[in-house]
Amino acid sequence: MDGRGRALDNIFVERLWRTVKYEEVYLKQHGSLKDLLMGLTRYFMFYNEERLHQSLGYKTPKVVYQTAAGGGAKIVDKFNEATETSALV
């Protein structure tokens, strides 16, 4: 998102929030703010780690992010590597 063509960049964010509303918020009437936050947390974990996305070749965003599938640069998450390494010591 470089400032040029911002309207096109906004499409992806709008689509995400539409999906969140229709698959989580409207279907499950959360009784309190705490319930809503927990529901959204669970939904985003599902969305990123389990839900297959047609536009990603029926892969999850987590797999695409970690493997650089689709021609993008591979992202190395040094924070998680550091915590996993320290857990082994």
Task: Give the DSSP per-residue string, the chain.
Answer: --STTHHHHHHHHHHHHHHHIIIIITTS--SSHHHHHHHHHHHHHHHHHT--BGGGTSB-HHHHHHHTTTSPPPPP-HHHHHHHHHHH-
pTM for the model: 0.65
Q: How confident is the model at residue 10 (pLDDT cuts 50, 70, 90)?
A: confident
**For the residues 2-20, what does the mean pLDDT come to?**
78
Q: How confident is the model at residue 87 (pLDDT cuts 50, 70, 90)?
A: low
26-70 pLDDT, tens per residue?
999 899 999 999 999 999 999 999 999 888 889 888 888 888 776
pLDDT attached to residue 5: 61
